[in-house]
Amino acid sequence: MPYDYDLFVIGAGSGGVRASRIAAGHGARVAIAEEHRVGGTCVIRGCVPKKLLVYGAHFAEDLDDAKRFGWTLGDRRFDWSTLRDNVLAEVTRLEAIYHETLSNQHVELIVGHATLRDAHSVEVAGRTVTADKILIATGARPLIPSLDGAEHGISSNEVFHLETLPKRLLIAGGGYIANEFAGVFHELGVEVTLINRGDTILRGWDQSLRDRLLQISMGKGIKFEFNCPFAGVERRDDGTLAVLDRSGKAIEGDMLLWAIGRRPNIEGLGLEAAGVKLDDRNAVAVDADSRTNIENIYAVGDVTDRIQLTPIAIREGHAFADTLFGDKPWRVDYDCVASAVFANPPLASVGLTEAAARNTLGTVKVFTSDFRPMRNVLAGRNERALYKLVIDAASERVVGAHMIGPDAPEIMQALAIAVKARMTKAQFDETVALHPTMAEELVLMR
């Protein structure tokens, strides 16, 4: 039977937009449904506005350091509304570019919540349309716990729209979102306390980097409350909030930010009607080609909970479109995917941690460089960077690289190429240093 579209995409985030425009470029008739704003988490309420806040917040330390470099500054004052509004304006500008991209590729944008009625039918904006192939790209959202008073907290979705900054901010969580916003708001003059259910931050990251970030963050004045399983949240008569743990301990603040994880957006999609199965993480289950258990229905990005990173969603969408509509089949390679935490200072990592390498490879060699960046020395800032290379002793191949320090994510992007290319420690050693830089430490470890 003839269908209204060759491809119908649910969700206009990074993965959905990439899949739509690539499929349309291959000649497919494509429509994409979005109930909120085009651009998804990354552009609208994630990586992009967060990174702009990181830039804005870092001026606090830059202005302090400037005195040691000979700059005399007059009175300084920070205005949250200026930063907030400029960041939101940039988000709006980028959203317009996404609209233009879809329009230029002749992808029909349908505003509304899409629901599967069967394997080939979708109800959206008051009508039912049919499609040969359907792609689910609805992403994920912040997890809010089922606790008494949890509604008194906000999530990362709302944090970009605050009317004013709180005096005391409680952040529930210990992952990358928690540590990133802790760094931002601390630099903006907010008293920050991280409340963690467990006893560690950044679970899954290399132990040396986690320890260093904790040490530096505490030195800056960020407070940490570990082993505090959440029992509830109370709003006091004076407007303050109190996070309660199971022992009855109360941690007080003026605002609470939930940063305890993200969950795939699967509700209200009609997955049951179409017969689409979920995995044990309540994400859409897919194979290596992003196909669900239903032959013509696919899913990419955070809704599949494979690796929740924007570049991964983009590649999954691209591979899907090339394979199905471009006669160019390929699959995403999930090995050696670099990641970063834009904390203060930032962290970056690729490949195996030291612990994972010892567990999987047996004998490994570990090289580290623990140093104070030149800028920090002159600024009188006692903050050290740490670089680590993990080597497979049998092959001498660099199997992991981990960094914490200024511009670590920028350096890691190039370093990730070397790790992905399976280069050896000897090849690192043969590379002449670029002096004076922080990155030269990577080729000077002996």
- 8 A C-beta contact, residue 315 and residue 332: yes
Q: Which of 152, 161, 186, 435 is catalytic?
A: 435
Given a cut of 80, is residue 379 above it in pLDDT? Answer: yes
Query: Are residues 99 and 217 both part of a single domain?
Result: no
Query: Are residues 135 and 26 both part of a single domain?
Result: yes
- 8 A C-beta contact, residue 32 and residue 21: no
- 8 A C-beta contact, residue 49 and residue 342: no
Query: Are residues 247 and 313 both part of a single domain?
Result: no
pLDDT tens-digit profile of 250-307? 999 999 999 999 999 999 999 999 999 999 999 999 999 999 999 999 999 999 989 9
Taking residues 193-214, report their average pLDDT.
Answer: 96
Given a cut of 80, is residue 440 above it in pLDDT? Answer: yes
Task: Give the largest CA-CA distance in the chain.
Answer: 75
Which string of DSSP letters, residue by residue, matches 134-188? EEE---EEE-----TTGGGSB-TTTGGG-SS--SEEEEE--SHHHHHHHHHHHHT
Angle between helices 47-66 and 80-104 (to 10 degrees): 140
Question: Backbone phi, then psi, for 37, in 5-degree steps?
Answer: -110, 145
- 8 A C-beta contact, residue 19 and residue 300: yes
For residue 305, being part of any structural domain is answered with yes
By residue range, what is the domain housing residue 393? Answer: 345-443
For residue 414, being part of any structural domain is answered with yes
**What's the domain count of the chain?**
3
pLDDT tens-digit profile of 57-89? 999 999 999 999 999 988 889 999 999 999 999
Active site residue 36: no
For residue 410, being part of any structural domain is answered with yes
